[in-house]
């Protein structure tokens, strides 16, 4: 009991941050053809407001906060600032799957200027476009960044009598967590998946098994998250080379091999169409449900992790919930905190190739059929009912919920588990079921429903009371980011090819 009390006392130091991708659209629910607004600053150098793949695809980024309320206030302030700076003819798309898409030629890759850093980002995105197509890249979602404070790890290190140096222990425990997130991560799209349908323009010209709903929508009746299915954000080439998550070094070795390995498929592309012909152009191209991360301005990510270890994890399976103005809310964040902490503290055996294959099957089933009554999911022990697996997992999280309730003097964490438990008894409570029910009840297609929800959220964003200090800070960042981009473009010291070689060189022996 004393040990639990000490552990609970460390949880206040947990840091969380959110990266939210969202598309700029017209009021008619079509892809915005306009450049990234200058009133938002320079996407290359702004720390909070940037673009992802496309010029019309915004990414709103919060710093990492120990105070969850501050994180959501920062995210709401970013939405307010963007909403009030956009042209009146535009809005932020509330769904993960895109609105009406134009032809690929009319989807402009994000533009960052003329500096070497800008050219590298744009050439990388050109490679993504040529490898996977532009439509897939317009899918948006939420990345939930999470880290424990050092004194949490010190306590666990002492409890386990580990002989590893603390820095090495922390990295290994993050991979311990990651293995369990991969293993149990199907629960996130089941509970929070919000992309059971797509506009017909997204699947135009593609083979698919979706069913029509009206004239402009395709869907699957039991789907939770088409975004996470084989029709969503996937990479079949990478799936041929599953990574080993047993340790930091086995992971780095796997990623470095993919960065160095020439792909027979991608070698057919012209050098001007991608950064290189490797399976991965850069580390960021790795498509995974969760990533180990480290912050470093000077080193490439692989070298930084090799030298500094893992600093936090990035959960990448959270759909934008079209019913929520920010796409996510505090109660969902409570549950994600519990899930990630449970994954860190519960046993985590190695992920064998056999289990990884089963995990992939499981996620695909949940993404496309997750709400089907009595759905069976594959496990190493044979098929089990999804509901039984989910309720067992939630039951194992109750002790962690008690720790969090104690740490923050609340009942909200236990309540978050209770609320999610109800979805296994009544799947109509899931966001995916709610979307399909609303579409049917109101005779609306995917575009029309999300457009209506997006319009309402824009009014919420505009009315949000941003603090004077934050308002001034965001305006300052607009000017500062533009100045920083101008400075980069005025100090080109080496040719682009030399810059690229320097940026992609790997110095760490993995």
Residues 444-459: tens digit of each pLDDT: 999 999 999 999 999 9
Give the SS3 label for residue 402: helix
Over residues 97-116, the pLDDT tens digits come to: 999 999 999 999 999 999 99
Within 10 A of 484 (CB to CB), how many other CB atoms are there?
16
Q: How far apart are the C-alpha atoms of 8 and 11, rounded to whole Å?
A: 5
The helix (run of H) or strand (run of E) holding residue 376 is: strand 376-377
The answer, yes or no, to whether residue 2 has pLDDT greater than 60, is: no
| pLDDT in the model for residue 356 | 94
**Would you say 64 and 16 are in contact if contact means Cβ atoms under 8 Å apart?**
yes
pLDDT for residue 406: 95
Predicted confidence band at 122 (pLDDT cuts at 50, 70, 90)?
very high
SS3 percent helix, strand, coil of the chain, rounded to 5, is: 50, 10, 35
Tokens describing residue 478: 């607009």
* Mean pLDDT, rounded, for 160-183: 97
Instruction: Give me the half-sphere count of Cα atoms (radius 13 Å) on the Cβ side of residue 200.
Output: 8
User: Cα–Cα distances in Å, from 216 out to 185, 200, 437, 444?
Assistant: 31, 5, 17, 10
* 352, pLDDT greater than 50: yes
Distances (CA, A) of 482 to 38, 63, 78, 148, 485: 9, 20, 18, 34, 5
Calculate the CA dihedral of residues 160, 164, 166, 171 and round it to 10 degrees. Answer: -90
**pLDDT above 70 covers what percent of the chain?**
99
Number of Cβ within 10 Å of residue 378's Cβ equals 16
In this prediction, residue 168 has a pLDDT band, given cuts at 50, 70 and 90, of very high
Q: Cα–Cα distance between 170 and 177 in angstroms, integer? A: 10
The count of C-alpha atoms lying within 13 angstroms of the C-alpha of 464, restricted to the half-sphere facing its C-beta, is 25
Instruction: Assign 183 a pLDDT band (cuts: 50, 70, 90).
Output: very high
d(CA 110, CA 94): 20
pLDDT at res. 493: 79
Domain 2-504 indexed as CATH 3.40.50.2000:
no
**What is the rounded average pLDDT of the residues 463-484?**
97
Residue boundaries of the structural domains of the chain: 2-504
Q: Which token pair is 353?
A: 């190739």
Kindly report the backbone phi and psi dihedral angles of residue 149, in degrees, each rounded to the nearest multiple of 5, phi listed first: -75, 160
| Average pLDDT for 158-182 | 97
Q: Which residues are paired to 146 by β-bridges?
A: 16, 313
Q: How confident is the model at residue 234 (pLDDT cuts 50, 70, 90)?
A: confident
474-486 per-position pLDDT tens digit: 999 999 999 999 9
The single residue listed with the structure tokens 């109800």 is 422
- Which residues sit opposite 293 in a β-bridge? 312
Mean pLDDT along residues 201-221: 95
Q: What is the pLDDT of residue 3?
A: 61
> What's the pLDDT band for 237 if we cut at 50, 70, 90?
confident
pLDDT digits (tens, 9 = 90+) for 401-424: 999 999 999 999 999 999 999 999
| Reported pTM | 0.97
- Give the model confidence (pLDDT) of 309-320 as tens digits: 999 999 999 999
Distance (Å, whole) CA 388 – CA 376: 10
What is the rounded distance in angstroms from the CA atom of residue 479 to the CA atom of residue 40? 9
- Which of 155-169, 217-231, 488-502 has the lowest average pLDDT? 488-502
Lowest model confidence (mean pLDDT) among 117-126, 263-272, 354-363: 263-272
pLDDT recorded at residue 272: 84
Q: For 272-276, 347-351, 463-467, which range has the lowest pLDDT when averaged over its residues?
A: 272-276
Strands 384-385 and 376-377: antiparallel
Q: Look at phi and psi of residue 113 and say left if phi exceeds 0, alpha if psi is from -120 to 50, else beta.
A: left
Which of 342, 179, 171 is closest to 245 using CA atoms? Answer: 179
* CB of 474 closer than 8 Å to CB of 98: no
Question: Which structure tokens are listed for 103?
Answer: 């032809």
Please compute the mean of the pLDDT values over residues 429-440 and round it to a whole number.
Answer: 98
Please provide residue 424's backbone torsions phi and psi, each rounded to the nearest 5 degrees: -75, -25
Q: What is the pLDDT of residue 294?
A: 95
Tokens representing residue 413 in the block: 């964490």
Reply yes or no on whether the pLDDT at 1 is more than 60.
no
> Quick one: pLDDT at residue 415?
98
Owner of token pair 């449970």:
342
How far apart CA 58 and CA 355 sit, in angstroms, is 36
Mean pLDDT to the nearest integer, 374-382: 97
């Amino acid at each position: 009991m004393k040990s639990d009390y000490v552990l609970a006392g460390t949880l206040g130091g947990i840091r969380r941050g959110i990266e939210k991708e969202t598309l700029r659209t017209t009021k008619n629910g079509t892809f915005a053809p306009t450049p990234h607004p200058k009133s938002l600053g320079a996407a290359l150098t702004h720390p909070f407001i940037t673009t992802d793949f496309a010029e019309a695809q915004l990414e709103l980024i919060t710093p990492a906060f120990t105070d969850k309320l501050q994180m959501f206030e920062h995210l709401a302030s970013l939405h307010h600032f963007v909403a009030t700076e956009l042209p009146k003819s535009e809005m932020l798309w509330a769904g993960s799957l895109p609105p009406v898409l134009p032809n690929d030629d009319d989807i402009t890759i994000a533009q960052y200027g003329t500096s070497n850093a800008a050219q590298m980002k744009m050439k990388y995105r050109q490679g993504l476009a040529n490898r996977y197509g532009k439509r897939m890249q317009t899918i948006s979602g939420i990345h939930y960044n999470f880290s424990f404070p050092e004194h949490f790890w010190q306590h666990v290190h002492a409890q386990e009598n580990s002989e590893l140096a603390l820095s090495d222990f922390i990295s290994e425990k993050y991979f311990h967590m990651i293995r369990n997130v991969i293993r149990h991560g199907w629960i996130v799209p089941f509970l929070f998946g919000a992309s059971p349908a797509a506009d017909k323009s997204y699947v135009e010209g593609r083979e698919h098994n979706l069913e029509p709903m009206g004239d402009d929508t395709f869907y699957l009746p039991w789907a939770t998250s088409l975004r996470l299915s084989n029709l969503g954000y996937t990479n079949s080439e990478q799936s041929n080379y599953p990574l080993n998550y047993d340790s930091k070094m086995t992971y780095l070795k796997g990623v470095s091999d993919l960065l160095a390995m020439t792909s027979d498929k991608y070698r057919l592309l012209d050098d001007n169409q991608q950064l290189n012909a490797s399976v991965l152009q850069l580390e960021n191209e790795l498509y995974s449900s969760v990533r180990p991360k480290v912050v470093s301005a000077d080193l490439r990510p692989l070298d930084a992790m090799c030298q500094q270890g893992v600093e936090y994890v990035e959960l990448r399976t959270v759909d934008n919930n079209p019913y929520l103005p920010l796409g996510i809310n505090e109660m969902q964040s409570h549950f994600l905190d519990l899930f990630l902490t449970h994954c860190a503290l519960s046993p985590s055996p190695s992920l064998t190739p056999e289990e990884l294959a089963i995990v992939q099957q499981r996620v695909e089933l949940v993404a496309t059929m997750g709400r089907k009554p009595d759905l069976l999911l594959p496990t190493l022990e044979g098929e089990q009912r999804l509901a039984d697996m989910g309720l067992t997992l939630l039951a194992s999280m109750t002790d962690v919920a008690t720790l969090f309730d104690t740490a923050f003097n609340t009942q909200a964490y236990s309540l978050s588990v209770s609320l999610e438990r109800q979805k296994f008894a009544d799947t109509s409570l899931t966001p995916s079921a709610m979307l399909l029910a609303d579409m049917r009840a109101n005779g609306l297609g995917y575009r029309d429903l999300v457009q209506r929800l997006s319009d309402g959220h824009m009014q919420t964003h505009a009315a949000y009371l941003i603090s004077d200090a934050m308002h001034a800070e965001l305006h300052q960042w607009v000017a500062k980011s533009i100045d920083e981009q101008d400075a980069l473009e005025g100090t080109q010291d080496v040719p682009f090819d030399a810059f690229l070689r320097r940026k992609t060189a790997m110095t760490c022996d993995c």
